[in-house]
Amino acid sequence: MDDRSSNSLEPLAGITCEDRLYKFKNRYAIYTVRPRPSSKKLAFVFSGVDATPGTCRMSYFALGETLDATVVHIMDNFGAHGCYLLSIAGDAQIRNAVIALIRLLQEEFACTEKQTYFLGTSKGATTAIAYALMTGGGNVLCGEPQILLGDFIFSERWQELEQWRSLAYAMTGRVSPADRPLLNRVVLDIVERYGSRFKGEITIHVGDTGYLEKHISHLQSLSSELGFDKKIHIESHAFTKHDEVVPVFLDTVANTLNTHMSAEARTL
């Protein structure tokens, strides 16, 4: 069922921004679209974790203003900090809703998998990889994804950080370190189920932050076992802080989608 409403937001740089609602069975996906159908490119942008309430440096909402593509932001608004759009209190039906929405928008804007991009950093990178795999194709441009979600959420300081507890509660319906192995399997199970059929390309940017060893290496080894490791491209950089992936990611997106990146897009 397509239960979309087009509440027009204030346009950015002349590009109409549409706020929409998509209903799939008993799940709803809220998303925004900035249509640019002449580009023949469709870009899905997924946000990171908003560690500061109401502010997320990794939301990239202003990309819709600058990219030469129809840009879609699917809101991860489950719980206070999101659920990676992968599990809500142990229920994975949100995945079916997002997959159906991706298919619907590919049809609406007449874009093939090769013309579809999945973008994000950190939590958004994880979601981008997951949905590219589950839909079977597309181009992932991302930075520093979490692969072992349990290790990420229940790290040494998890009791001090509200956003990690919030992620656990949104995904499992409770906050318990006993769920660490279960959460570690979320992305790995998706890779195992869909990886061998994946026809797209995944480019991951990573710095000297520990993410390569703690997370990305698990994706590398599993993709090698499944025979699609040549579709995963790792770009290593010298930065040492996780959020320093942001300018690297934005430059990659700008260069790939052939558009000028405004100063606003780098800060919104």
- What confidence tens digit (pLDDT) does each residue in 49-66 have? 866 655 566 789 889 888
Burial class for 5, CB neighbours closer than 10 Å (0-12, 13-18, 19+): exposed
| pLDDT (0 to 100) of residue 152 | 95
pLDDT tens for each residue of 185-228: 999 999 999 999 999 999 999 999 999 999 999 999 999 999 99
45-54, 92-101, 184-193: range with lowest mean pLDDT: 45-54
| pLDDT (0 to 100) of residue 264 | 41
| pLDDT (0 to 100) of residue 260 | 43
Domain parsing of the chain, residue ranges: 7-257
Kindly list the strands in the beta sheet with 116-121, ordered across the sheet, starting from the edge strand earlier in the chain: 7-12, 15-24, 27-34, 70-74, 42-45, 116-121, 139-143, 201-206, 232-236
Which is more confidently placed, 83 or 51? 83
| pLDDT (0 to 100) of residue 265 | 43
**pLDDT band (50, 70, 90) for residue 266:** very low
pLDDT beyond 60 at 5: no
Average pLDDT over residues 84-111: 97
pLDDT beyond 60 at 100: yes
> Over the range 21-50, which residues count as b (16 or more CB within 10 Å of their CB) and which as e?
ebebeebebebbbbbbeebebbbbbbbbbb
What is the pLDDT of the chain when averaged over all its residues?
89
pLDDT beyond 60 at 168: yes
83-92, 157-166, 253-262: range with lowest mean pLDDT: 253-262
- CA atoms within 13 Å, Cβ hemisphere of 114: 0
pLDDT beyond 50 at 253: yes
CATH (one of 2.60.120.10, 3.40.50.970, 3.40.50.1820, 2.40.30.170) for 7-257 = 3.40.50.1820
**pLDDT band (50, 70, 90) for residue 1:** very low
Model confidence, pTM:
0.90
Which is more confidently placed, 268 or 18? 18
